[in-house]
Structure 1
Amino acid sequence: MKKILCVGLSLLAWAWISAQEFESAAEAVANMKLGWNLGNTLDSNSGDLENMWIEMWTDRRPVDYETAWGQPVTRPELFKLFKDAGFNAVRVPVTWYPHMEAKFDTELKWNPDADPIGTQIQSDWMKRVREVVDYVIAQDMYCIINIHHDTGAATTHWLVAGEDEYAAQHERFEAVWTQIAEEFKDYGEHLLFEGYNEMLDPYDSWCFASFATQSKYNSTVATSAYNAINSYAQSFVDAVRATGGNNATRNLIVSTYGACSGEGTWNSHLQDPLKQMKLPADDKEGHIIFEIHSYTGLSSGLSSAKSSVNKMMTAVKTNLASKGAPVIFGEWGTDNGEDYDNRRDNMAAFLRHFVEQAKANDFGTFYWMGLSDGAHRSVPEFNQPELVEAIVKGYYGDAGYGAITDVYGEDAEEAEYYDVLGRRHATPVSGLNIVRMTDGSIRKIVKP
């Protein structure tokens, strides 16, 4: 559909037109610009079969889970803070198993075999997830929702990277995604689904499959794990596409084994998660995104960290992006929570370098947590402003977000600028602007 800018077009009508034109996965990654994770919020859970403390000591309301890990109730203003700073996407991790059919009774211990989670998602939890998604979308930002701590190394996980485990759980996995997809099938292209988070083999191996086995590598375990990851990815795509509506062309995200990025050179199997990942079959070509995670150490110095990232991104380009889908770092940062206090200058320099290199390679970035954390989210305000500045300058350059560098160029003087009421202006006005470039393309920009 050809975009036509009408002077009297309202913002609501404009959003409707845009929602009908589902962009490709590569376009979505480019348009996300900078992303951030709303971590430790809707992903919060007890995570221990021997100590189901949230279930034992709370009323199990959505708010009890949302605030269980120290974060306040999420408010719309938080996302405006990030939008105004230059971020254009938010990943909202969601853990589902506590909000399905298990009763949990009043015991600290939970036996999933005796009290299974079933397949049905509780309506009050789905409602809260939808509310938070709406907060993000209302800021004209991209939003990613996923299945989060249902994977991983916690004893409460039910999604495991193994062929036997896939056979036992894939119907439940598909049922969960069918419900999520049905709930959001009418949402536009700014909403993306991520199939699963950091799924591990039965030994909870990080870095690559079977690393936690006694021999540090077991080809049988590894093969089973990689086969399962590819099977889960295909099941996810098939389940979502089957719901129709806007889900027919929605951009979908699949992660490598453990969301491993292959960073490092200390083991010959580190690249296996990238090499063994397959691009799921999809009738709608160009709507799949690969996801990986990266947490780099700064203890060996800034130069070493930068070198490690440079090598990693080259390998990701060669061993993953080459398969025909764009790549995002769904989580990234440094590997030590004390870096901000003890290595602040190096940390800021590293974050800027990471974003610069990711942008140069056409990779998307979603910073994990930090920036605005705990009570600071309620204000809302940034409690790590130096890191925000570093990330923003890494993407937009020294002038920062206010320069709107993605619009200004040789055609800037001839571009046409309209406000949300369709009135034309000689230059951008404060707030949202609709810009028609000389080639006829349309862009939306925000001027502080």
Structure 2
Amino acid sequence: MRRAVRTTLAAALAALTVAVGVGAPAQAESGPRPTAAEKVVAAMQPGWNLGNTLDAVGADETAWGNPRVTQDLFDAIEDEGFRSVRIPVTIGQHEGPAPDHTIDPATLDRVEEVVGWALDEDLTVLLDVHHDSWMWVNQMPTRHDEVLAQFRATWQQLADRFRDHPRTVLFESINEPQFAGVDDAQSYALLDELNVAFHEVVRATGGRNAERVLVLPTLHTDSGQARLDSLVATFDALDDPNLAATFHYYGYWPFSVNVAGGDRYDATAQQDTVGAFTRVSDTLRARGVPVILGEYGLLGFDRHTGTIEQGEKLKFFEHLGHLARTTGVTTMWWDNGQHLDRTSFQWRDPELFAQIESSWKRRSGTASTDQMFVRPGAVVDQQVTLQPNGTTVTGLYAGSKKLRAGRDYTLAGDTLTLPAALLGRLTGDGAYGPQAELTVRFSKGVPWRIDVVGADTPVLEAATGTTDAFSIPTDFRGDRLATMEARYADGTNAGPHGWTSFKEFDVTFAPDEVAGVILLRPAFFAEVADGAPVTLTFHFWSGDRATYTVLRDGTTVTGTTVTGTAG
């Protein structure tokens, strides 16, 4: 909604919302009053990233597949409830040679235009120097003076250009800083030097830059304790009240990419999330340092969001949102074009966005699963463990029809039991695939959907192919593939990530239910021994498994069915 069409009442309500903290990171009910910088950062909640656009490496902002930015995009983002946008920009590719490192005027003009459009939509802007971190800044250990000079020149020009822009433009020194060929201790010293130089250059330009909120990252923008402690030392030395810290979080790595059996947001993955926010809260927020979660998501999303099962990803985002809100961390969702369609301005996964949007203000109830598999001809009672997260259950629905407790289902504590009689009615003639949708509604937050799926043990067939193109003919029979193990005959692990038998989803294997195949990627065979049979165990979400053997002979691959077993 553009500023020009806002009513006085709407503006007043927005100001009141910020004043009382609705939707903003939680503040302690007692204790020190928030600083000016804390207020600026709190008012940014929630935020969104304009990823893979002005930061794209190549000819222009469309080089990585996204359309040119228009003001309509920021209009849509503001309408969806976001209050801020992080604008990553890769600058070095548009700079001239030393000593001036002059930024192409057209690039500066375009960045300023895009920033201006965001401001016109009442969005706070976090301007970030992005892929420069690995393109040239990481060479600082061996090209110290040259890199430092270019870094200072880069920020000198950006600071001069945005000197008189409002306080709702923040600067972030460098994205995910890293340094090649040196240990952590040396890296901490180099990052401190960069952050101090950034602070010095920007502040010296005067104007609104004298008090603009400047955002400093940890090494790798990581939340490890040593990373945080090093950044605190920089904050202490600078002694500037108008600073904020930033970190990124993409979840517990095995869960984030679905490898090593990390297909569920289990207790280990949950504790990793808790640990990150606890460290940030205890180390930074407790000292009054405002904190921005500059990027968050799941790493598997860089391929496609189906790398992580839908219900498991929803639980992750619900939990992360709760932890951010209760620790007072402003969140900026990473979107490189995989979430918001930048042409239609529609969410590609509305259910995911609904969960994230709800987490800005409240908790939502979840459950142990969002899938219930019913075997035709063998329908039995099934149970789901609800996770109310402080809410209460208000009803169970089949489509729009409210089911009756005690007759259609039972709820004992958090255990929801769905009797065979109900499941039999829902699955009807026993066809494979989704047959019905149950919805658990809670006293607040978004409902929890459970797919009722007709399924039987999948059947795999023998096949031949090559290391570049091999697929296993698969009759999924309604089931869904969760993960795959790979072992040699002696029990040792086969394929990439040899420390685990569970291979990485989509990188090494991928189901294609429409085509009726399971693909084995070239990346899998690249690390499989020639002439050594490999036993693959496919784990399906129903609990069923199927065993299959592949043999590589040069570039030729032969596949043979072993067994399919019910869970």
Give the TM-score, by structure 2 length.
0.54
Using a 3 Å threshold, how does the CA distance of structure 1 residues 241 and 230 change in structure 2: closer, same or farther? same
* 1:85-124 map, 5 Å: 85-101=80-96, 118-124=100-106
Candidates 249, 262, 271, aligned match of 2:211:
249
Q: Is the 8 A contact 1:96 1:150 kept in 2?
A: yes
CA separation of 1:311 and 1:10: change in aligned 2, threshold 3 A: closer
The 8 Å contact of residues 371 and 387 in structure 1, kept in 2 or not, is answered as no
Partner SS for 2:138: coil
The CA distance in 2 between the partners of 1:326 and 1:256, in whole Å, is 14
Change (3 A) 1:227 1:390: same
2:299 aligned residue: 335
* C-alpha separation in 1, matches of 2:344 and 2:358: 24
CA deviations 1:36-57 (Å, max 9, x no partner) are 1101000011xxxxxxxx4xxx
- Structure 1: how far apart are the matches of 2:357 and 2:237? 34
Which of the residues 217, 221, 224 maps onto 2:186?
Answer: 224
Equivalent pairs counted in the alignment come to 328
Q: Deviations over 1:133-188 (max 9, x none)?
A: 01111111111112111112xxxx22127555443322221121111111111111
Give me the CA root mean square deviation.
3.0
Which of 129, 133, 147 is the aligned partner of 1:151?
133
Q: Which residue of 2 aligns with 1:276?
A: 230
Q: Which residue of 1 aligns with 2:60?
A: 65
Q: Which residue of 1 aligns with 2:75?
A: 80
Q: Which residue of the partner structure matches residue 410 of structure 1?
A: none
Counterparts of 1:379 and 1:186, CA distance in 2: 34
User: What secondary structure, in the 3-state scheme, does the structure 2 residue paired with 1:330 have?
Assistant: strand
Per the alignment, do residues 373 and 339 of structure 1 end up closer, same or farther by CA in structure 2, a change over 3 Å counting?
Answer: closer
Tell me which of 196, 201, 214 is aligned to 1:234.
196
C-alpha contact (below 8 Å) 1:237/1:280 kept by paired residues: no
Q: 1:124 to 1:260 in 2, by over 3 A?
A: same
C-alpha distance 10-389 of structure 1, shift in aligned 2 (>3 A):
closer
Counterpart residue identity of residue 68, structure 2: V
1:195 aligns with 2:157: no
One-letter amino acid matched to 1:74: V
Instruction: Provide the rounded CA distance (Å) in 2 between the counterparts of 1:158 and 1:331.
Output: 22
Q: How big is each residue's C-alpha offset from its partner over 1:56-81, in whole Å with a ceiling of 9 and x where there is no partner?
A: xxxxxxxx410000000111111122
In the TM superposition, 1:354-373 aligns within 5 A as 354-369=320-335, 373=339
Contact kept, 8 Å, 2:66 with 2:337, in 1: the verdict is no
Offset at residue 34 of structure 1 (A): 0.8
Q: Against the structure 1 CA distance between its residues 161 and 229, is the aligned structure 2 distance closer, same or farther, given a 3 Å change threshold?
A: farther
Q: Does the 8 A contact of 1:234 with 1:280 survive in 2?
A: no
TM-score of the superposed pair, with normalisation by structure 1 = 0.67
Query: Percent sequence identity over matched residues?
Result: 29
Partner in structure 2 of residue 392 of structure 1: 357
Q: Distance in 2 between matches of 1:87 and 1:10?
A: 15
- With 233-242 and 274-283 compared, the bigger mean Cα shift is at 274-283
Matches within 5 A, 1:259-270: 259-262=221-224
Partners of 2:296 and 2:140 in 1: how far apart?
26
Q: Determine helix, strand or coil for the equivalent of 2:297.
A: strand
In the TM superposition, 1:361-440 aligns within 5 A as: 361-369=327-335, 373=339, 376-397=341-362
| Aligned equivalent of 2:52 | 40
- Structure 1 segment 307-322 matched on structure 2, within 5 A: 307-322=271-286
Q: Distance in 1 between matches of 2:305 and 2:335?
A: 13
1:287 counterpart (236, 239, 242): 242
In structure 2, the partner of 1:29 is: 41
- Indicate conservation of the 8 Å contact 1:279/1:324, yes or no: no
Distance 2:336 2:157 in 1: 31
2:246–2:292: 8 Å Cα contact kept in structure 1? yes
User: Is 1:91–1:143's contact at 8 Å kept on the other side of the alignment?
Assistant: yes
Letter in 2 for 1:40: N
Q: Assess if the C-alpha contact under 8 Å between 1:160 and 1:166 holds in 2.
A: no
Say which structure is richer in helix. Answer: 1
Measured in 2, the distance between the counterparts of 1:396 and 1:10 equals 20
Structure 1 or 2, whichever has the larger Rg, is 2
User: Displaced runs of 4+ in structure 1, greater than 3 A?
Assistant: 7-11, 161-168, 279-285, 319-324, 370-374
Query: Secondary structure of 1:377's match?
Result: coil
2:128–2:172 Cα contact (<8 Å) kept:
yes
1:169 is matched with which residue?
147
Q: Could you say which structure has the higher strand fraction? A: 2
Partner SS state of residue 227, structure 1: helix
Structure 1 residue 30 displacement after superposition: 1.0
CA drift of 1:386 comes to 1.7
Say whether the 8 Å CA contact 1:24–1:251 is kept in structure 2: no
Whether the 8 Å CA contact 2:96–2:102 is kept in 1: the answer is yes
**Secondary structure at 2:122 match in 1:** coil
Any conservation in 2 of the 1:371–1:388 contact (CA below 8 Å)?
Answer: no
Aligned to 2:417: none
Q: Give the letter aligned to residue 153 of structure 2.
A: A
Aligned AA (2:245): F
Return the alpha-carbon distance in structure 1 between the equivalents of residues 289 and 140 of structure 2.
24
- Of residues 296-305 and 326-335 in structure 1, the stretch that sits farther from structure 2 once superposed is 296-305
Deviation at 1:324, TM superposition (A): 4.6
Q: Does structure 2 conserve the Cα–Cα contact (< 8 Å) formed by 1:166 and 1:232?
A: no
Tell me the CA shift for residue 364 of structure 1: 1.2
**In 2, Cα distance between equivalents of 1:243 and 1:75:** 30
